[in-house]
Chain A
Amino acid sequence: MATLNVLIIVSLLYVVLLFTVAFAADRAALHGRGAWLRSPWVYTLSLSIYCTAWTFYGAVGYAARSGLEYLTIYLGPTLVMIGWWWMLRKMVRIGRSQRITSIADLISSRYGKSNLLAVFVTLLAVIGTTPYIALQLQSVTLSFAAFAEADPDAGVLNSPYTALWVALGLALFTILFGTRNLDANERHHGVVMAIALEAVVKLFALLAVGVFVVWGLAGGIDETFARIDASEIARWDVPGSRWVGLTLLSAAAFLCLPRMFQVLVVENEDESHLRTASWAFPAYLMLMSLFVVPIAAIGLDLMPKGSNPDLFVLTLPLQEGREGLAILSFLGGFSSATSMVIVAAIALSTMLSNHVVMPIWLRMTGNMAVMSGDVRQVALLARRLSIAGVVLLGYVYLQLSSGGAALAAIGLVSFAGVAQLLPAMLGGIFWRGATRSGAMTGLLVGFAIWLYALFLPSFGASVIISQDVMDHGPAGIGWLRPRALFGAEGMDPLVHAVMWSMVLNTFSFILVSVLTFPKPLERLQGAQFVNVFQHSATTGSWTGGLAQSEDLLLMSQRILGPTEAQAFFTNAAAHQGLSGYLPEPSPDFLQQLERELSGSVGGATAHAMISQIVGGATVSVQDLMAVADETAQIMEYSSQLETKSQELARTARQLRVANKKLTQISDQKDTFLSQISHELRTPMTSIRAFSEILRDSDGISEADTSRYSSIIHDEAVRLTRLLDDLLDLSVLENGQVVLNTEKGSLSALLERSISAAGGEKGTLDIRNIQPEKDIVVTTDLDRLAQVFINLITNARKYCDAKEPVLTITSSRNGGDVVIDFIDNGSGIPADMHAVVFEKFSRISHSRVGGAGLGLAICSEIMTRLGGHVGVVPAQEGTAFRVTLPDSATTSGAKTIA
């Protein structure tokens, strides 16, 4: 009999299935397919990570030990879900509008984007979650061992390293599917899909075992009830205080557990999904708990005395020889354990990298990091290392605690730990008066009491806190006994610790909040959180100058990636009615940008990064007044006036820019005559001088005669070329051009242009980077080639690098074809970007090579082809971007009179 072998094979196949599902879901989401990924059902199922191995195995054990008390663990979340309208909806709305990445981010953002608070919440979350992860690993080990026991020839395979292998596998899965995108607000479709599948498996497994127990072992419903009545479970008497305490505790934990926050708020796709989940998730919980009592009762009845009730779900089928069912049950427990670890690791790694690693890294590398370092890679690496660290920390904890306490006990200790976040969080979203100092004090007090009265004693007597201290208090001070603080004797230890920690936490939070004065930014954030449903727009807080837009773009490219950042900036600019890549750094824009960035690196870090460039947020008196008294409509009106006047100021600035450009153009027009005169007269001078020499002089050698003739010839050609250019430009400008549209390969066209652009001065190194699949364009190929040749020749003439390199990159951006020409020279100064495409504009006279018509012609041609050519700011050197629309065919009709 090789049950264990079968089990291992089935488990491995199951793991492969999970990888495949996650991979397929990620692919589907990437290609914009799979609307079903965003269904409320997937959301509801993903919430079921609340049901961990603790619930799957532990609930039966819990019922066997304490009767119906296990129901409290399901009652809390049910109450929260049914009352979703009141609280969850607000959390989700805040999470979306502020681009919250984790519970630490939520609390830190609310209290003035304080990173200290975020670090503290992160630490608390890690300490609270580590035992829980250990618990999951332990449950897999135990269930595996249960099989090994039943299998006589398990010897070799029953390795003590099961937990380690599971930990490594989970870390790998989470890194693969959890850190694909940097932006935590871009949902992890693969992960969510995998845990939804696991949710189905664990429910099915538990129901199957339940059905087997009720109809297979007990012999029907009536029989089962009779057996339950006869067992000890029916006689358990649960004290009321414990019922209420546990229900509230599980409700609090449901909201505060980092992994629950991750699926509830961060992974939430649509607020309306809550409506479905509000009844579907309690129904799921009810099904999960349906057979718990029967399994516990029959287990107590049938299993030998002293067998672990935590494993009844597995050992009952095994004992009855139902190996298939036992394997299914194992998969259920395995699913429960793995899904919890995966999501918890993602949630904690986001917190660790955003609030601990990134701020330290930014401080260490100073301001320059934002401009030059590769922030994305650092953030991703930090996140990956954090995942591995968190999972391994769970493993280490398991080894250290050697699995001493019963499963349910560790779960409740964890619950009580993270529940300490509740006052700060609820206070933050419902009470404007809550302050950072209050939140910090409350958290510290609650955390300290939890540590002292519950967490440390949970390791067992005399492990960390000595028996003497437990019995008589530290240094014999009776009212400091961990189990009887302030003389509250005879209480249940858990209820005792939860009561004191929560009461004192809440009390100090409120007291300190009332006594301290919030900083301006806290006030603003407080108003936005508490009134998230009323505030459509937010009060402006950033002020910036135009020069900073380019720096901001530079920074955003490092964090969001060049394509996304450029798209974001272009959209913002278009929204403001500007063309090009650089929008006005209006308060609105800066706020949007901060949100966008906070999706990647968290609110506090994003705020710090922007203030490095813009120089600190200013909160005006008006902002504060508006927050302090929003009932006064007049305030609203005055703030509208304020906005209007800001808009006017911005319009004025745009007009000034336009005016400056007009003046520049007028100056250029003035110099136009000089320019054209110079370009015509210079070759003319040589022609005249040499033709007179040839005419008037005798005795010129044969060689000289031929050289002088060829000079005359060359200069005549130069004149002709200039006239051609002028005529070409004039034709293009008048729109009388006839386009000869044909289909052709872009890469072939570029090759042709590179060789046509000549290599007489072969110093320019041209790198032509093409996508794997060649792009086919339908346009006037000769005209397009003319543009390419001009841009290449330009780089050859003006790139001032020691070893000039021109990189040509073609790509598809949505429907458009984008071709970038980027050299490594010193680039074009920002104030010249607008005029380089004007006729005869040369950036300096020092390097003459053409008449200054090339770019003007390029620009005209691209307009005729329905596309565009422009300068891309904030690149290594000079960067020209040619954009050709997908429907380049239609541009032939564009003939403007």
Chain B
Amino acid sequence: MTKRVLLIEDEPNIIEAVSFILTRDGWDVKTHSNGHDAIDAVHNRTPDLIILDVMLPGRSGFEILQDIRADQTLADMPVLMLTARGQEKDREMAQRYGASRYMTKPFSNAELLANVRELIAP
């Protein structure tokens, strides 16, 4: 069965690029582009993996991550965090809040695929 990925990101061009790369690799990609109701989207889509951007309109990715980890049903959900802010502080925060992986933009497509594959063996 095809594994589902939920991409929470607000830059349309990045959404398009990531969707293209993952779809071609055989993933079912759903996207969501704001922070307000990201948690609802997670519940509705029941993905196998979440790719979460840090700077989102409405709520930050860190807040959403905290909510995900606080939720019993989502506690083990693999979360791959993306950030464009490249500071060490951000990496530490992501780890503290329980991100499974952490990537700094820009990344290579191969790197992205490798990370996703490692998080969930298809």
Give A residues with C-beta under 8 Å from B: 673-674, 677-678, 681-682, 684-690, 692-693, 696-697, 711, 715, 845-848
Q: Indicate which residue in B24, B105, B110 contacts A681 across the interface (CB closer than 8 Å).
A: B105
Additional pairs, 10, CB under 8 Å, beyond known A681-B86, A689-B106: A673-B87, A674-B85, A677-B85, A677-B87, A681-B85, A685-B14, A686-B13, A689-B107, A711-B16, A845-B55
Are B16 and A684 touching (Cβ within 8 A)? no
Are A689 and B21 touching (Cβ within 8 A)? yes
B108 at the interface (CB under 8 A from A): yes
Contacts of A673 in B (CB 8 A): 87
Check A686/B57 contact, CB under 8 A, given A677-B84, A677-B85, A692-B109: no
Are B57 and A848 touching (Cβ within 8 A)? yes
Are A685 and B20 touching (Cβ within 8 A)? no
Nearest opposing residue in chain B for A687, CB measure: B106
Report the Cα distance A689→B84, complex, angstroms.
Answer: 14
Contacts of B87 in A (CB 8 A): 673-674, 677
Are A688 and B55 touching (Cβ within 8 A)? no
Are B11 and A692 touching (Cβ within 8 A)? no
Contacts of A847 in B (CB 8 A): 57
Looking at the assembled complex, report how far the CB atom of B32 sits from the nearest CB atom of chain A, in whole angstroms: 16
Are B16 and A681 touching (Cβ within 8 A)? no
Most chain B beta-carbon neighbours within 10 Å: one of A678, A687, A696:
A678
Contacts of A846 in B (CB 8 A): 57-58
Nearest opposing residue in chain A for B82, CB measure: A685
Looking at the assembled complex, report how far the CB atom of A735 sits from the nearest CB atom of chain B, in whole angstroms: 31
Are B105 and A685 touching (Cβ within 8 A)? yes
Report the Cα distance A466→B92, complex, angstroms.
Answer: 103
Nearest opposing residue in chain B for A707, CB measure: B16
A sample of 24 cross-chain residue pairs with beta-carbon separation below 8 angstroms, ordered by A number, consists of A674-B85, A674-B87, A677-B84, A677-B86, A678-B85, A681-B104, A682-B14, A685-B11, A685-B17, A685-B105, A685-B106, A686-B14, A688-B107, A689-B14, A689-B106, A689-B107, A689-B109, A692-B110, A693-B20, A696-B109, A715-B13, A846-B58, A847-B57, A848-B57
B119 at the interface (CB under 8 A from A): no
Q: Indicate which residue in B14, B55, B58, B110 contacts A678 across the interface (CB closer than 8 Å).
A: B55
Contacts of B51 in A (CB 8 A): none
Contacts of A682 in B (CB 8 A): 11, 14, 84, 105
Are B84 and A711 touching (Cβ within 8 A)? no
Contacts of B20 in A (CB 8 A): 693
Q: Indicate which residue in A681, A693, A711, A845 contacts B106 across the interface (CB closer than 8 Å).
A: A681
Are B108 and A688 touching (Cβ within 8 A)? yes
Report the Cα distance A876→B50, complex, angstroms.
Answer: 44
Are B108 and A692 touching (Cβ within 8 A)? yes
Q: Indicate which residue in A686, A688, A690, A696 contacts B11 across the interface (CB closer than 8 Å).
A: A686
Contacts of A677 in B (CB 8 A): 84-87
Contacts of A681 in B (CB 8 A): 84-86, 104-106
Report the Cα distance A674→B83, complex, angstroms.
Answer: 10
B42 at the interface (CB under 8 A from A): no
Check A711/B13 contact, CB under 8 A, given A677-B86, A684-B106: yes
B77 at the interface (CB under 8 A from A): no
B41 at the interface (CB under 8 A from A): no
Report the Cα distance A169→B20, complex, angstroms.
Answer: 86
Pick the 7 closest A-B CB pairs, nearest first: A689-B17, A686-B13, A681-B84, A685-B106, A685-B105, A688-B106, A678-B84
Q: Indicate which residue in B21, B104, B105 contacts A693 across the interface (CB closer than 8 Å).
A: B21
Looking at the assembled complex, report how far the CB atom of B65 sits from the nearest CB atom of chain A, in whole angstroms: 17
Report the Cα distance A681→B84, complex, angstroms.
Answer: 6
Contacts of B11 in A (CB 8 A): 682, 685-686
Q: Mark B1-28, 1 if CB is under 8 A from A, else 0.
A: 0000000000101101110110010000
Contacts of A684 in B (CB 8 A): 105-106
Report the Cα distance A682→B54, complex, angstroms.
Answer: 12
Contacts of A687 in B (CB 8 A): 106
> Within B25-62, which residues are at the interface with A (CB < 8 Å)?
55, 57-58
Nearest opposing residue in chain A for B13, CB measure: A686
Report the Cα distance A715→B13, complex, angstroms.
Answer: 9
Nearest opposing residue in chain B for A692, CB measure: B109
Nearest opposing residue in chain B for A688, CB measure: B106
Contacts of B84 in A (CB 8 A): 677-678, 681-682, 685
Check A693/B109 contact, CB under 8 A, given A678-B84, A685-B84: yes
Looking at the assembled complex, report how far the CB atom of A752 sits from the nearest CB atom of chain B, in whole angstroms: 32
Contacts of B105 in A (CB 8 A): 681-682, 684-685
Are B85 and A693 touching (Cβ within 8 A)? no
Check A686/B85 contact, CB under 8 A, given A845-B55, A848-B57: no
Most chain A beta-carbon neighbours within 10 Å: one of B13, B24, B55, B109:
B13
Are A693 and B17 touching (Cβ within 8 A)? yes
Most chain B beta-carbon neighbours within 10 Å: one of A687, A693, A847:
A693
Nearest opposing residue in chain B for A684, CB measure: B106
Report the Cα distance A692→B24, complex, angstroms.
Answer: 14
Are A686 and B17 touching (Cβ within 8 A)? yes
Nearest opposing residue in chain B for A700, CB measure: B20
Contacts of B13 in A (CB 8 A): 686, 690, 711, 715
Contacts of B16 in A (CB 8 A): 711
Report the Cα distance A432→B104, complex, angstroms.
Answer: 80
Nearest opposing residue in chain A for B18, CB measure: A689
Report the Cα distance A681→B20, complex, angstroms.
Answer: 20
Looking at the assembled complex, report how far the CB atom of B48 sits from the nearest CB atom of chain A, in whole angstroms: 22
> Within B72-88, which residues are at the interface with A (CB < 8 Å)?
84-87
Contacts of A693 in B (CB 8 A): 17, 20-21, 109
Report the Cα distance A848→B35, complex, angstroms.
Answer: 14
Looking at the assembled complex, report how far the CB atom of A844 sits from the nearest CB atom of chain B, in whole angstroms: 9
Contacts of A845 in B (CB 8 A): 55, 57
Nearest opposing residue in chain A for B109, CB measure: A692
Report the Cα distance A687→B110, complex, angstroms.
Answer: 15
Report the Cα distance A696→B17, complex, angstroms.
Answer: 13
Report the Cα distance A690→B110, complex, angstroms.
Answer: 12
Looking at the assembled complex, report how far the CB atom of B51 sits from the nearest CB atom of chain A, in whole angstroms: 13
Report the Cα distance A690→B18, complex, angstroms.
Answer: 9
Contacts of A715 in B (CB 8 A): 13
Contacts of A678 in B (CB 8 A): 55, 84-85
Looking at the assembled complex, report how far the CB atom of A850 sits from the nearest CB atom of chain B, in whole angstroms: 15
Contacts of B21 in A (CB 8 A): 689, 693
Nearest opposing residue in chain B for A715, CB measure: B13
Nearest opposing residue in chain B for A675, CB measure: B85
Nearest opposing residue in chain A for B35, CB measure: A846
Report the Cα distance A686→B107, complex, angstroms.
Answer: 9
Looking at the assembled complex, report how far the CB atom of B92 sits from the nearest CB atom of chain A, in whole angstroms: 14
Report the Cα distance A711→B11, complex, angstroms.
Answer: 12
Contacts of A674 in B (CB 8 A): 85, 87
Report the Cα distance A598→B24, complex, angstroms.
Answer: 78
Contacts of A686 in B (CB 8 A): 11, 13-14, 17
Report the Cα distance A845→B107, complex, angstroms.
Answer: 24
Most chain A beta-carbon neighbours within 10 Å: one of B18, B20, B105:
B105
Contacts of B58 in A (CB 8 A): 846
Looking at the assembled complex, report how far the CB atom of A673 sits from the nearest CB atom of chain B, in whole angstroms: 7
Looking at the assembled complex, report how far the CB atom of A675 sits from the nearest CB atom of chain B, in whole angstroms: 8
